[in-house]
Structure 1
């Protein structure tokens, strides 16, 4: 218990540490959302078009017979 007590910040630092931690967590979640990083956690083939120059390849795949049987994650 003494080790845990030594890790905690002094009382006058508690509020600034909580606010700073909240700001950092909020910034991380905001950047995660704004960069569409959540789309990379799915199997949606439209994800490839987010940042890569994949529009022609995506259009070709989307109009081919492979669209019904395979998505990008099956091969890549």
Structure 2
């Protein structure tokens, strides 16, 4: 009798685990969404609304999604970055440590720069300093990928520089 109860409890727990994992991977806002290249997954967190809206109305929307610029394109590096940054984002969000103004950290800046050069190599190959890492494309072209983002409290990006 005792063994039957243990099997029943184990079965219920197993079903709950499978259902929970299914919910994580199969719902639109679940973990499965973060494994995709869908920009709406990046916009699941409300602090990304301005970045998403800016990208949605900018010219790069026609040719690039978030991961095209913000993650490396090589297989292991892309997923390592997605996992590392994902854990970092969850930590900041759950501990209420979201900065008032979100800025790319040095690693993200390097990744974005490499992707700018990858797509626009013919254009930037003659530009002094861009390929040597002395300056970034987005130092001058800050609003290209995300457009001119507005905030009632802070004005536009160009006004804050």
Relative to the length of structure 2, the TM-score reads: 0.35
Find the partner of 1:36 among 30, 36, 44. 30
- Deviation string 1:5-42 (CA, Å, 9 cap, x unpaired) is xxxxx843323222221123223333x13853221121
User: What does residue 10 of structure 2 align with?
Assistant: 17
Q: Secondary structure in 2 aligned to 1:54?
A: helix
User: What does residue 50 of structure 2 align with?
Assistant: 56
RMSD value over aligned CA atoms?
2.3
* Separation in structure 2 between the aligned mates of residue 75 and residue 36 of structure 1, nearest angstrom: 22
User: What does residue 67 of structure 2 align with?
Assistant: 73
Higher Rg? 1
Q: Which has the higher contact order (CA 8 A, sep 6+)?
A: 2
- Which structure is higher in helix share? 1
Q: Which runs of 5 or more structure 2 residues have no equivalent in the other structure?
A: 71-161
Q: Do the aligned residues in 1 keep the contact of 2:43 with 2:52 (CA within 8 Å)?
A: yes
